Amino acid sequence: MRRRGASALSLLEERLAVPVSADIECKQGDMQTLIEELRLLGKEMQETRLQVQVLNETLGALGARVDVCESRLDKLTSRIENIESCGMGSVMGCDGTALANTIESLRAELNERDQELLMNDLEITCIPEQKGEGLQHGGMW
């Protein structure tokens, strides 16, 4: 408890039971050095705090980039698994019916062209053939 009119120094002397004033007066230069050291320590702690904050921000950005890379890797992995499970099927999906339909329509188109070409064939009859005679000679008149 503080008494009226009592200084902090006298209260300290009472508690320690040692006269402090003589010690403090002798080391006044040391106190200035100690105060300066405490200021420098505070400044260094602020700089360290800023560096830790920058480090945390950098690690956060790095974590976000790793998350993006993992997401892309997951997508690529699922696409590869999808392609491997389909074998040599369509890359767009496992639906082989689209490929089969395309093949069937191409075959039908090829057959139609063959039929058109057969309609253009001309068969010539009643012309005698000679041995060694080529088709070119029979068609020229």
Question: What distance in Å separates the CA atoms of residue 89 and residue 100, rounded to the nearest whole number?
Answer: 10
Record the tokens describing residue 94, joined without a space: 């496992």
Could you give the 3-state DSSP secondary structure of residue 135? helix
pLDDT in tens, 74-131: 999 999 888 888 765 544 555 678 888 889 999 999 999 888 888 777 777 777 777 8
33 in any annotated domain: yes
118 in any annotated domain: no
94, 85 contact by CB (below 8 A): yes
Mean pLDDT of 15-19: 60
64 in any annotated domain: yes
pLDDT in tens, 28-87: 777 888 888 999 999 999 999 999 999 999 999 999 999 999 999 999 999 988 888 876
89 in any annotated domain: yes
Question: What distance in Å separates the CA atoms of residue 107 and residue 100, rounded to the nearest whole number?
Answer: 11
The candidate with the shortest Cα–Cα distance to 135, out of 122, 117, 120, is 122
Domains identified in the chain, total number:
1
Predicted local distance difference test score (pLDDT) of residue 32? 83
122 in any annotated domain: no
79 in any annotated domain: yes
Question: What distance in Å separates the CA atoms of residue 121 and residue 62, rounded to the nearest whole number?
Answer: 74
pTM of whole model > 0.75? no
88 in any annotated domain: yes
- Which residue's entry shows tokens 């505070």? 42
**In which domain, by residue range, is 58 found?**
8-111
